[in-house]
Structures are given as C-alpha cells and as structure tokens.
Chain A
Amino acid sequence: MKRVTAGNTALLILALLSAWASWIPANDGTLENSMNNNLVKTLSTSEDPWELNDAAKALAKGSDPIGHAAVATALVSSHFLTNLDSEEEYAGDSRHLRLASLLKVLAENETQSAHEILLRASESSVFCDNPARIDLMIDALTFIRPAPPRAITFWDKYSQPEDGFVERTIRQISENGSDPAIALLEKKLTSRDFEEEDRAWWIRRHVLGLRDNVTMLNACMRMLQGSLEEALRPGLVEVLFDYQPKAWYRPHDVPAAPDRSNASREALELLYLIGQSAQAELELDPALDFRITDELKTIDETLKDER
C-alpha cells in the first residue's frame, strides 16, 4: 500500500474535521477537553501504530463529538489505516488487526455518532479498498440494531455471488436479526443469482437461529407460498420443525436452535399455520411429516394452556 506523508495528511484531516464538526451536534461538556485535543492531534500526526491504536480507541469509547469526528476522519484516511496496521498484518487474520478492536469499540458504543462513524466508513472507497476491512465492517455493523438502511446497503453490496464476502455477510445479517436484516436475508434466500445449494445451506445454518422470530416466520410464510423455489421449501419447513445438528453441520459450526418454550404466542400461531400449510401443500418426507405433526401437537397444547 502506498503511504501518504504525514504533513499533507494532517492538513487534509484538519479540513475534514471541520466539516464533520459542523455536522455533529455540539457537546459543550467535553468540547474543550484537553486530553481529547491531544488524542485528536495524535491521530493526525503519529505514525506509531500503538499510539494511533490507543488514541483512536480512547476517542471511540467516549461521546465527544470532536473526538468522534477525528476518528471518523481517520477511518477514511489511508495514512491512518496504513499506519495502524502494516501490509504484513493485513495478510493475516482480519480479526487480529488493530483496526478490529477499534471497530468493535465503535460498534459497542451505543451513541448515534459512534455508529455514524461506522456507517460513513462503510461508504468510503478508501476504507473499502481492502477486503480485510470489508470483513471487519461486515462484522461490526452487526452490533447496530435495528440495522439502519445504510448498513443494509453495505451488506447487500457485499453479498454477491462469489464475491468472497457473501458467506460472512449472510452469517452476520442473521446474527443481527433485526427486521431490516431479516428482510435482506429473505431477499438473498429468494434470489436466483445464488445456487440452490448455497441457499439451502443458509436456510439450515442461518434461518435456524431466527426460527421463532415473528418477522422471520412471516418471511418464511411468504417464501413457502411462492417466492422460494419448490425444491427449497421442504428444507425451510424442516429447519422450522426438525432440527438435526449432527446430520446437518460441520463440527466447528453447530448452531443451537432457540428454545421454543420462549417463543411468543404470535410466533407459535405462525408456526402452527406454516406447519399445517406445509403438510397440506408440500410433498414431505414421511419422517418430516411425522415431526411436524408432533410439533404442531405441542404448539397446540401450549397455545391452549395460554388461553
């Protein structure tokens, strides 16, 4: 990666900082914080990776708009990014980059401005110039719930066939589990751009964790009624009613099915409808048919008990 000189970058960063500060609402309580001023200066002038790491994380943990503005600017600066982690470090595990811990701090900071930093970086061509950074952004956005439209746009962009990110993105949007993320998952599950076997896997691996979620169940209803190819429908029904971890998953990635006793009444009612409709309309394997009958009986009893 090409490195830009510190002097030129400092001027650029100061200019960008001014622009950002005008966007962020003022917070007089921390604005004059001299420590933060030092940290901001470190971000724009230091070339030491640990100094940059410490300063950026310290600012990211707080809520000072000027500090956040400085981090936002740094994240779209190739000077900062290439000094924070070397080319050699980028060749290894992306989760081992210093950048990873900075993004996690931002993602876990529940202030709007911290999340705005992530979203701005996700739209930056400088930030997204490296696949390891894209990986980390895919992961970091998972913490923001409900997923904002810009996060959905980013995930959508990085979940295309054979792009090298799609498996990670599908994993993370299902982990996010908010309504917009589930809508994106439904879009990907019904997209003919992807091979059926990939989507069959996503159903088993990623729909499972959401199988008692009302939004997901509504999406399942739509998919079973027509938006999903017929060949994939039994698999979708199976994941809702007949969890088979030993048969389905590789040893290092065995997801747990949610405890159905915690499912809401609305979810159970939807499941009941889906089960009945699947038995009436789909050609099901007898073993699956039996499991659905069994599960419907349990659901029916639970619903009766709650009445």
Chain B
Amino acid sequence: MTLPRTRRAKSLRQRLLVQLLALAALLAVLLYLTVRTVAGQAAEATQDGVLGSATTVIAEQLRAGPEAVEIDLPYEAFSVLGSISEDRVFYRIVAEGRTVTGYDDLPLPEGITPGVRPAFYTVAYRDSTVRVAAMTRQLVVAGQVLPVTVLVAQTRQGQDAIAARIANRAAALGVGFFVLALLLSLVAAGSVLRPIERLAEAVARRGPQDLRAVDYPAPSELLPLIGALNGFIARLRAALTRTETFITEAAHHIRTPLATVRTHAEIALRQSEDPEVRKSLRGVIRAVEESSRSASQLLDHAVVVYRSDRLATEPLDFAALVAGVLRSAGPVASLRDVALRFVPPVPGPVVQGDRPLLESAVRNLIDNAIKYSPEESDIDITMTTEAGQATLRIMDRGRGLSGQTGARLVQRFNRGANVGDVIGSGLGLTIVAEVAQAHDGLFSLTDREGGGACATFWLPLA
C-alpha cells in the first residue's frame, strides 16, 4: 500500500528566505540611496563652500574708483577653485546691469536677490551646467550708491566625479550588505526550521508498531501540532485495542460453543451406524475443528499484535523455551507417529524476549511441521548460534512449499496451494513473522533438500 501523495505548499525555508531577502534587498537599496544622497549633498556643500568663499574674497576686492567700479581680481581666489577639482571657472561683475568685467553672458540669478552672503544657483551655461555663487555689495561711486553683483561659476565635473565614486562605493556597500544578509538569512532559516526537521525525523524514526505518544522537546509553536498528533495516536491505539479485544472476545465466544458442538457430534457419530450419517458427522467434526483452530489462531494473533506494542521482555534460555513447547506438542506428534528430534545445546543461547510471544511463535512452527509431516516421519529441530544470532531450524519431510515463496505464505490468511486437505487458518506463519519482527529477529521458510520444508527463526542474542 502506498501513501497518497501529500499536496505540497511552498516550502517554509523558501518562504522565509524570500521574505528575508526581499527585506534585505529593500534595505540595501535604501542604504545605497541614503549614502548617495547624503554624500552627494556633502560634496555639493563642500563645493558651494569653496565657491562662496572665493566669491566673498573677490567681492572684497571691489573698489570705488573715481568714476567707476574697479576690481583687482585676487589670483588665489581662482587658484583655490582649481585646487579641489579641475573644473572650468567663469566670473562676471555687474554694476547697474552693465558688465564691469568677466564673461558678460553668464546668467544673472532669477528670483534670487543676492545679498551680502553668497546665494547659489545652478544654470546651463555654454556647453555645460554650472553652479553659480552670487553676492552683491553696495559701493559709493561718484556720490551715488551703486549695487555691484559678483558672480563666480564653476562646472560640476569634479562634484559629479565625486558623486559617481560615492555611488560606486555605495553600490558596493549595498551589494556587500545584501550578500551578508543572504548568508545570515540562510543561517537564520536553518536554525528556525531545525526543530521542525528534528521533530519530523523523530516521528519518522518510529517503528510501524510504535504507538506511544510523541514526547519531544519542541518550541511552543509546534506544541499544538504535537498535541494533535498525540490525540490522533491515542485514538488509533484505542481503536486497535478495541479491535483486538473484540477479536479475543469473539474467538472465545466461538470456541466454547464449538467445543460443545464437537462433543455432541462425536457422541452422535459413535451412536450412528448409517454410513451416510456418519460421513456427514465426520464432515461436521472436521469443520468444527477448522473453525476452532482459526478462532484459536485469531486469538493468538490478537495477542501477538497487542503485546508487540508493549513487549515484556526478559532474558530467556531460548533452547529451554523450545524444549518446553516440544514437550507440550509431544502427545499430538505421537498420535501421528511423528518423532520430534531436538538436542538442546547446553548452555542454551540467551535472548531478550517476551515469553508468551516466543512460545506462541515456536508452537505455531511445531504445529505446522507436525500437521504437514507424513505419518511415521521425523522432524529435525536444531539450534545454533551464529553471528550474534540464535538460530532455530525446524525441518520436516512434508510437502514443502511447492514453488511458492516463503514471503507470500507469511501474509495474513494466505495458505499454500497444496494444503486444501489440511486444517489451517493461514494465520500461523503471520504470527511467527510478527513475533520475529517484534524481537528484531527474522523468519524465513524454504524448501528442504530431499523434500519437506525448513523454517528458520533468528533471534538476536541478549
């Protein structure tokens, strides 16, 4: 049976990573823009500062001549403008709208009235964009107050270069931040998801019969899941227990009336002389026997299933256990003139096992062997110890497997194709296999050389 394919939603790790990385990308972009803006503003402020002080120095050189404004342009003011960057410099000195000296097409400020402190504006000039500082001083020329405006302009190539360099660094910073965030996100996603993975592993590691409640330290977010899982397990266990109890009860309730029916049928057989009636009665007895055995094995099986969930193991002498079962099977074997040949090794191998289950398994194997053995034949039983395993072999001279696989015969209610004339429920080998599995052992059924079957039962040594 295969489990139905679980529908898959987007993986938690993926979801977590995508969200963390989206956040990191957003932060990286913000970082880039912030660094760029702040640094760009700082670069502009620096250049404005230099431009403004050059303008102030030039304005201080304004003199009122006898007839007109005069100026002795200071060399250093211009030289300083070239010290920060190799930018082109333009200047203009205007008195009453007339250019005293300089570049007479340098645009005057629009909407700004330059005062004693430099005012800055950006304007297109010639083939470039320039930053202009403008300030005005009042001079008295020929008895008249004359406002004189000084304009000093500089191209922005240096500032643009600084801005580009900063933008590059900011971009590198952003990328670096993002890469770091990526690594941290991977680590974070791993650590957040680890408890879930551990829980999943712990649940997956359980054996198929393990119906204990999950008791695993888990973060509080997972507690509802674990609670739900445990509730589910408890319901399952209760349902199983009810089923086994029902089977036990049912088998018990069937066996008792069957025994009565059988007794009555045997009495009737003894008293009847009509061959037809006797034949019918024998059929009845046989059917009753079959039913009784089935009920008994259902009971055994229920016990096995029930106990294998909660094994009561103890160290056992496996050989002594087998010898005990053989003793109780002795009368049945001698009815059929079948000899059970077993020499228990001394000391016997010690295994860790649940006595009733092991007895049940061995009894089923012996019963099978006796059942399928021809009259007046031998059943050889050996016990050896090899590779940490106690190995029990039960070999008969019956009809063998006749080409069927042992694995198929072990399945519940499957019986061999060649056994129609022998009473059986098809549960015996299932019980044996389940007991072996519950004890971490193995069971196999093979043809025996020279005819017959060989049942091998391995148990790990204690």
Q: Do A and B bind each other?
A: no
- Which A residues contact B (CB, under 8 angstroms)? none
